[in-house]
């Protein structure tokens, strides 16, 4: 059975426009993580050139983003407080002197007031050195808050698809055979139209004594819908044109494969296209199951209720033996 599968993939024409090369044997792990980010690490350039700080700040989790801003704010004021302390607190009029710790807190809060340009007026710089430092700090504060405001606006206004994918893909009974299924659902009050999905399967096979990666596009029963208002179950029917034709439960469990998902839709509020990605490895494909319905009418039948808690819920459903077509592998002309 294994040799038949290997022979099958040798005869299938793999895709060449995937962005991951052709017949590559130099990759490691999955190509995309479950969040849709490429599973790659860039080397050969400096750390500052390797990352775009703007993209990093926009894509950072909200709690981490706010914590980072707070750390930067405190760090900058600690540095300037240290400079004022070195210059001498006698160059700051209005400081209530006391212990070294109290003196430092006084100059720290003066630094915070200068950085934010609040300037309560109780403490003021005297002498050239303290005045020059406070002038530079005020200028730096204006620039910093302008950048922070831009980042907040960018994070708030950046088009996002706000789409959740099921954690698992399923091999479920479908028509007289079986199909690969997963589902997705918008989880905010956004309006997505002209939603389109493409699937690409990557599998590692042995060819001429070495392991290589092959890529195949997967046909979808419905690849485009007008409006994505409810959940959408994506179905790849496993027919003779499918690269999965002939796969048994053991083949799905043992194969080194990944199903990559690419979603594009138009968000009517952003008035822009939005993109979503995810992938499923063999370990995330459940054989012999079906999804539980995740929406139902309200009590008064006036609205449809979508239960997002049921997005990942499935129940066992045996796949008919003939659906796997075990032992009946005949290489198709092309992959869907």
> What pLDDT digit, counting tens, does each position of 219-247 carry?
999 999 999 988 999 999 999 889 998 88
d(CA 31, CA 56): 20
Checking DSSP bridges between strand 232-237 and strand 192-207, what pairing results, if any? unpaired
Query: Which residues are bridge partners to 171 per DSSP?
Result: 180, 287
With cut-offs at 50, 70 and 90, classify the pLDDT of residue 204: confident
Tell me the average pLDDT across 286-306. Answer: 91
What domains can be seen in the chain, in order of their start residue?
A: 2-34+167-324 (2.60.40.1400), 49-157 (1.10.287.70)
Q: What is the pLDDT of residues 156-185, one digit of tens each?
A: 888 889 999 999 999 999 988 899 999 999
Q: How far apart are CA 230 and CA 228, in angstroms?
A: 6
CA 261 – CA 287 distance, rounded (Å): 19
d(CA 40, CA 19): 13
pTM score, whole prediction: 0.75
pLDDT tens-digit map of 41-70:
777 777 677 778 888 888 889 999 999 999
How is residue 305 written in tokens? 């209720």
């Amino acid at each position: 059975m294994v040799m038949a599968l290997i022979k099958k993939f040798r005869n299938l024409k793999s895709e060449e426009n995937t962005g991951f090369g052709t017949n590559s044997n130099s990759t490691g792990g999955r190509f995309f993580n479950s969040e849709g980010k490429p599973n790659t690490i860039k080397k050969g350039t400096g750390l500052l050139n390797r990352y775009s700080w703007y993209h990093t700040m926009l894509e950072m989790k909200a709690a981490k983003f706010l914590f980072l801003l707070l750390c930067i704010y405190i760090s900058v004021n600690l540095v300037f407080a240290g400079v004022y302390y070195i210059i001498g607190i006698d160059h700051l009029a209005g400081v209530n002197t006391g212990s070294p710790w109290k003196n430092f807190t006084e100059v720290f809060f003066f630094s915070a007031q200068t950085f934010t340009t609040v300037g309560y007026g109780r403490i003021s710089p005297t002498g050239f050195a303290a005045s020059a430092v406070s002038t530079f700090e005020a200028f730096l504060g204006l620039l910093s808050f302008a950048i922070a405001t831009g980042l907040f606006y960018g994070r708030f206004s950046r088009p996002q698809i706000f789409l959740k994918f099921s954690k698992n893909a399923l091999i479920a009974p479908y028509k007289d055979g079986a199909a690969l299924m997963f589902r997705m659902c918008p989880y905010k009050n956004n309006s997505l139209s002209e939603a389109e999905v493409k699937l690409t399967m990557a599998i590692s096979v042995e060819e001429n004594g070495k392991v290589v990666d092959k890529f195949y596009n997967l046909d979808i029963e419905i690849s485009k819908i007008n409006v994505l208002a409810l959940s959408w179950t994506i179905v790849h029917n496993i027919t003779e044109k499918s690269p999965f034709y002939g796969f048994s439960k053991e083949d799905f469990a043992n194969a080194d494969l990944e199903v990559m998902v690419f979603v594009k839709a138009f968000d009517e509020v952003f008035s822009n296209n939005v993109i979503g990605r995810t992938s499923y490895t063999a370990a995330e494909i459940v054989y012999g199951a079906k999804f539980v319905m995740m929406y139902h009418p309200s009590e008064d039948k006036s609205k449809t209720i979508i239960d997002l808690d049921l997005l990942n819920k499935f129940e066992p459903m045996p796949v008919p033996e003939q659906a796997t077509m075990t032992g009946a592998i005949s290489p198709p002309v092309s992959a869907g």
